[in-house]
Amino acid sequence: MKPQLILAGIILFNACKPTMNKTKEVQVLPQSRQDTSHDLYFGSHIADPYRWLENDTAPEVLEWVKTQNKCTQQYLSAIESRSTLKNRLTEIWNFAKYSAPVKEGNYYYFYKNDGLQNQSVLYRCLDLNNYEKAEVFIDPNKFSTDGTISLASLSFSKDHKYAAVGIAKSGSDWNEIFVLDVATKTKMTEQIQWVKFSGATWLGNGFFYSRYDEPAKGKDFSNQNEFMKIYYHVLGSNQSEDVLIYEDKKHPLRYFNAGISEDERFLYISVSEGTSGNEIWVKDLAILNQSQKIITSNFTLLCKGFENNFDVIGNDGDNILVRTDLNAPKYRLVTINPKNPEPKNWKDIIPEREHLLENIVIGNQNQLIASFLVDASSRLKHFDIKGKFIRDITLPGIGTVSVSGTEKGENILSYQFVSFTVPGKISLYNLADGSQTDWRKKQEYPFNTEAFETKQVFYKSKDGTKIPMFIMHKKGLQLNGKNPTLLYGYGGFNISLTPSFSISRLAFLEQGGVYAIANLRGGGEYGEDWHKAGMLNKKQNVFDDFIAAAEFLIQENYTSSKHLAIHGGSNGGLLVGACMTQRPELFAVAIPAVGVLDMLRYHKFTIGWGWAVEYGSSDHKEQFEYLIKYSPLHQIKKEIRYPATLIMTADHDDRVVPAHSFKFAASLQSTKFAGESPILIRIDTKAGHGAGKPTAKLIEDAADMYGFILHHTK
């Protein structure tokens, strides 16, 4: 397939102002110029009249962004509830937030945000009982005046003398790494650039990291990233002197990441062709002398790719522990000897069970803490390194757990438990006797956690599949079909939507809103079979699941189409875009955020090629045939009335480039009824796909989004 591209024609922007059309106000939206760009796909000519918007640094596109933002802000600023929401969000955001502590060397490290700080601060203390007197180790708020530089990664050398710190600017996936002297907290000379999807993995007096070549100027956030490489950096040297450890000149579209076992016995490399499926290569460092440790050959294939998933958990002497879905859709933990790595020689440590084995960490080098997922809620079990069951770990209720492992000789590990209505509970678990204690005294919040309730329901999708959904609202809610309701979903990439606490969601619930989260196929809630049921040519199942969730909420009288909004981000933005174009009459509001909306060209930008294992690619005829049927950009019809839509994106999003949202907005704004159901796009500046966004921007985002939703549903 060779795309054909022709440019012609201009349509000027209109002013953004309302006019009266008999009895209703009509928003005059910006009209974007169109050209005759098109591609030829296997005999089908597909128009792409807004392709010029893909060039996000061009002066014309920058002017387009300025015009669109002006129009959007004029509209949002006229919504009365927006300022009230912003004030309330600021009030309830203002409480101290902690992460679970992790021991590194003699210190316990934890993150804390006093309340409204743009970025959480990293503290350390020698005594967990004396955390209130902890000292600041790294304060990211000092990296920039507006809080748009965030901590992206942190790793300590084996002797705990140094810490490699990764930072991200304006939410970009591009990272820079510098090194701190742990004792003095002083910055060393290191400046490692063009790192992406990688932290630092220490070995000896240096570390491994993955990077791409420097992109062409002006194309930092849009050019396709190819030929990732792994380098080894020696402390005190320049990046130009770093040793190339691993590359693959035959496969430009692969990811490579290095790892080291806790005892520094094994160096392993995970290789993947996308977001699903990988292989593992390993090197036994014990058979090399010190001068040979950093070499670029002699890796052994441990786990063959790319049909299954493999996560190295650690090692037990000569054997490597791997969590995998090979012959186990709900995952198992196996032990593999690198000298005999064939699957027939693997031994089960934790066999596949009824429920998903979601994660495993190692404590004290001889204990395993396994997290299982039961109907999208966490369970913890304690095993020894050989897989012998020791005990269940009692949790506070239905929620999500994140656990930190410990080094050799350390018996106390920490975990954090969160639910939909309680911000978080941090516990310390003793591996030796199973006892648990709370870390920190009980905290007071600027909101009433007892005012809300959560329930889990199960409904049937179009094909009869049973789908779980969480529903939150104020206690005493009347099921009268008039409640403003927001339905959220994701449904992809093996990602599970488990209970989480959201301050912005709480503000919506306080306003009488109902919030629902559907656990759609394509996610990881029930293992790899559940994931595969919503990927590639089965992606329509995900949209059917979401539409069925909306119909269930209406059928059960929680809400009606006039009061129902849908929201999702990234792959969830695709979900919203697909559902609002397939069933526009079902929803009052649609909020597609940083969405993948052009399914024919997504793989041509940054690391979009990595999603082809999930979606398929328009480069292949059979995959083009199903992509074109649901691609949101290509399913917009001129004569259809679409829901009131607020498209949300950001100028530094180099994960899902903003061109997706730009083209989707321009196309929707050209439809017949766009002014009556406003089609707006909100383009954040100095922000990316979402990670590391400062508190001030999070509050602005939430006030705009929930203000828009309530205005059109309440």
Catalytic residues: 570, 689
The Cα–Cα gap between 276 and 614 comes to 7
The amino acid sitting at 672 is K
The Cα–Cα gap between 357 and 331 comes to 6
The sign of the torsion formed by the CA atoms of 624, 626, 631, 635 equals: positive
Preceding amide of 42 cis, omega within 30: no
* The pair of three-digit structure tokens given for residue 25, joined into one six-digit string: 């106000």
Backbone dihedral region of 70: left (phi > 0), alpha (psi from -120 to 50 degrees) or beta? alpha
Listing DSSP states for 517-557 in one string gives: EE--TTSSTT-HHHHHTTSGGGTHHHHHHHHHHHHHHHHTT
Exposed, middle or buried by CB within 10 Å (0-12, 13-18, 19+), for 433?
A: exposed
For residue 6, the tally of other CB atoms under 10 A from its CB is 8
The Cα–Cα gap between 670 and 683 comes to 19
Structure-derived torsion over alpha carbons of residues 704, 709, 711, 714, reported in degrees to the nearest 10? -150
DSSP H helices in 593-658: 612-615, 621-630
> Which residues are within 8 A (CB) of 240 and not within 5 positions of it... i.e. 6 or more apart?
none
Q: List the one residue out of 321, 390, 314, 323 whose CA is nearest residue 353.
A: 323
| CA of residue 478 relative to chain centroid, distance | 34
In three-state secondary structure terms, 74 is helix
The Cα–Cα gap between 508 and 486 comes to 9
The Cα–Cα gap between 388 and 637 comes to 59
In three-state secondary structure terms, 593 is strand
For residue 172, the tally of other CB atoms under 10 A from its CB is 23
* The pair of three-digit structure tokens given for residue 61, joined into one six-digit string: 């596109």
Q: List the one residue out of 384, 155, 408 whose CA is nearest residue 263.
A: 408
How many residues belong to the chain? 714
Strand order in the sheet with 679-684: 452-460, 466-474, 514-518, 485-488, 564-569, 589-593, 644-650, 679-684
Q: What angle do CA 406, 411, 417 make, to 5 degrees?
A: 65
Structure-derived torsion over alpha carbons of residues 471, 474, 478, 479, reported in degrees to the nearest 10? -10
- The answer to whether 81 and 55 are in contact (CB under 8 A) is no
Enclosing H/E stretch for 403: strand 400-403
* The pair of three-digit structure tokens given for residue 205, joined into one six-digit string: 């007096």
Instruction: Count each helix (H run) and each strand (E run) in the chain, helices first.
Output: 10, 42
* The pair of three-digit structure tokens given for residue 482, joined into one six-digit string: 């008039």
Backbone dihedral region of 410: left (phi > 0), alpha (psi from -120 to 50 degrees) or beta? beta
* The pair of three-digit structure tokens given for residue 302, joined into one six-digit string: 């441990």
